[in-house]
Amino acid sequence: MILPFWSSGQERSKARVRLITLDPGHFHAALVQKSMYPVIDPEVQVYAPGGPELQAHLALVRQYNERADRPTHWKETVYAGADYLQKMIAERKGNVVVMAGNNHLKTEYIDRSVRAGFNALSDKPMAIDTAGFRLLAKAFDEAAAHHVLLYDIMTERSEITNILQKELMHAPAVFGALRPGSAADPSVVMESVHFYYKNVSGKTLTRPDWFFDPAQQGEALADVGTHLLDLVQWICYPSAAIDYKKDVSVLSASTWPTPVGLSQFSTLTGKPAFPAFLKPFLKGDTLLQAHGNGEVTYRLKGVFAHVTARWEYQAPPGSGDTHHAIFKGTKATLEIRQGAEEHYQPTLYILPVSVSDDYSSAVRQFVAQLAARYPGVTLSEVSGGWRVEIPASYKVGHEAHFAQVMQRYLGFLAAGRIPEWEIKGMLAKYYTSTKALEIAKPR
């Protein structure tokens, strides 16, 4: 039996989404519920094996319900038991499964959910190795056969500097054309730096110990690296159906560790000792060689790109996760920097190859057109080009982007389909990340 999005006999305008949260082991599962949505039933079914990760999830949702400013009103109905997955499928109390947690289990959860006729919204990554990618490709076929919608949570598309970088790249008068580049000098370069120690919704995040196991969480490239791979595709080739078998060539990749001391590990996880499954990654008894870094050089539709994902223990004071992105065009380079000079805020620069009065006029004219859609966006002259000034009102923060992704997914559910380019893009980025890890050389 296929469980449809639209309830039988209801008009589409009155239909409701009924959420199921499956085995929440990552705080992203709760961030989906930081906001309310008129079309989503406030009662959410939660199926999990029990334990501290479930309790942390429920506590975060409860925090949203109890906050003074725009409190939510979710009702969490919980089933905790070893047969949680079978129970979810048998009871069929919802029509959209949300999953964010142990990545080793996630691809199987996706496959089982869509084969049972549930729509699925998955946190990244959907797959962390080649075997997982093969199962994911099958799951997309199953989703199509069962007429359900499988989608992943890509929050970085909602970040305003990424949006404006994309807009400027597709302005020929400003950017020109994307250069093909080379392996030694790629035309697209992206790097993100994440931090193990962080605050979420105002509280210090406790990470599960398996977060540091590459077999369960995945390597950096397979995890946060998927955001970067998604941005490369989305910015360079918006609405284009990318065929990973023809359009992607992974050229080289490498990984290297981030050292995490026992005291740091205990601070992050609340555990007094390293678990046995991390023993292969220990140096001595007190230093974990966490699988926190990776890079890949690849060719996408003939354009060379280089992506780096890194983890460090704690951000410098006043900063947080950082993003650096360069796109090289025939007329200008578009660069996002987020260093100390930018006060650790993502900042977009237009760096022209050469400047003339006509070119300057073209840049100002296009940014004025942007300002009609994004009021308040302006330019400031800097050494070597311009800085795009973006009002603070657009900088809503990472946590707010989860609601924006949910709205996008709700739109797909209402339409009854996900665009083909989105499905092809998901397959392409997970092929790229898992293929990179297949050939990666440790350093």
Other CB atoms within a 10 A radius of the CB of residue 52 amount to 12
Let me know whether 110 and 228 are in one domain: no
Ordered alpha helix ranges (H), 270-400: 357-373
**What tokens appear for 388 in the block?**
């795009």
Q: Is 440 in a helix, a strand, or coil?
A: coil
Where is the domain boundary, 127, 153, 179? 153
Q: Is 411 in a helix, a strand, or coil?
A: helix
With tokens 């009002």, the residue in question is 391
CA dist., res. 236 & res. 186, Å (int): 13
For residues 350-370, one letter each, b for 16 or more C-beta atoms within 10 angstroms of the residue's C-beta and e for the rest, the string is bbbeeeeeebeebbeebbeeb
With tokens 């890194």, the residue in question is 310
Complete DSSP assignment for 225-280: HHHHHHHHHHHHSTT----HHHHEEEEEEEEEEEEEEHHHHHHHH--SS--GGGGG
Predicted pLDDT at 398: 87
CA dist., res. 260 & res. 282, Å (int): 9
Measure Cα distances from 400 to 43, 155, 262, 391 in Å.
Answer: 21, 9, 33, 16
Let me know whether 61 and 19 are in one domain: yes
CA dist., res. 207 & res. 276, Å (int): 17
What is the total count of domains within the chain?
2
Let me know whether 100 and 162 are in one domain: no
Residues (pLDDT < 50) of the chain are 1-15
Q: Is residue 310 part of a domain?
A: yes
Q: Are the CB atoms for 308 and 295 separated by under 8 Å?
A: yes
Q: Is residue 332 part of a domain?
A: yes
Predicted pLDDT at 251: 98
Let me know whether 299 and 209 are in one domain: yes
Residues with Cβ within 8 Å of residue 212, at least 6 apart in sequence = 260, 265, 278, 281, 288, 290, 291
Q: Is residue 416 part of a domain?
A: no
Let me know whether 77 and 181 are in one domain: no
Let me know whether 239 and 297 are in one domain: yes
**What tokens appear for 414 in the block?**
């209402």
For residues 103-141, one letter each, b for 16 or more C-beta atoms within 10 angstroms of the residue's C-beta and e for the rest, the string is bbebbebbbbbbbbbbbbbbbbbbbbbeebbebbbebbe
Let me know whether 136 and 235 are in one domain: no
Q: The domain that contains 312 carries what CATH number?
A: 3.30.360.10
Q: Are the CB atoms for 254 and 294 separated by under 8 Å?
A: yes
Predicted pLDDT at 21: 98
Q: The domain that contains 104 carries what CATH number?
A: 3.40.50.720
**pTM, whole model, 2 decimals?**
0.94
Q: Are the CB atoms for 388 and 159 separated by under 8 Å?
A: no
Where is the domain boundary, 394, 412, 436? 394
Q: Is residue 428 part of a domain?
A: no
Predicted pLDDT at 9: 38
Q: Are the CB atoms for 164 and 377 separated by under 8 Å?
A: yes
Let me know whether 302 and 378 are in one domain: yes
Residue/partner pairs of 36-40 with CB below 8 Å, 24 or more apart: 36/72, 36/73, 36/74, 37/403, 37/406, 37/407, 37/410, 39/15, 39/410, 39/414, 40/16, 40/410
Where is the domain boundary, 153, 177, 200? 153
Let me know whether 64 and 168 are in one domain: no
Residue/partner pairs of 53-56 with CB below 8 Å, 24 or more apart: 53/23, 53/24, 53/25, 53/101, 53/208, 54/24, 54/78, 54/80, 56/27, 56/206
**What tokens appear for 382 in the block?**
């800097």
Q: Is residue 418 part of a domain?
A: no
Total residue count of the chain as it appears in this document:
443
**What tokens appear for 254 in the block?**
């490498």
Q: Is residue 441 part of a domain?
A: no
Other CB atoms within a 10 A radius of the CB of residue 92 amount to 15
Question: What is the bridge-based pairing of β-strands 188-197 and 322-328?
Answer: antiparallel
Predicted pLDDT at 338: 95
Beta strands in 27-85 (DSSP E): 43-48, 75-80
Q: Is residue 408 part of a domain?
A: no
Query: Containing domain of residue 234, as a range?
Result: 157-394
CA dist., res. 158 & res. 161, Å (int): 9
Q: What is the H or E stretch that residue 112 is in?
A: helix 103-115
Q: Is residue 18 part of a domain?
A: yes
Model confidence pLDDT, tens digit, residues 22-35: 999 999 999 999 99
Let me know whether 201 and 349 are in one domain: yes
Let me know whether 103 and 79 are in one domain: yes
Measure Cα distances from 424 to 82, 235, 239, 430 in Å.
Answer: 35, 15, 10, 10
Of the candidates 169, 168, 111, the one whose C-alpha atom is nearest the C-alpha of residue 138 is 111
Let me know whether 137 and 237 are in one domain: no
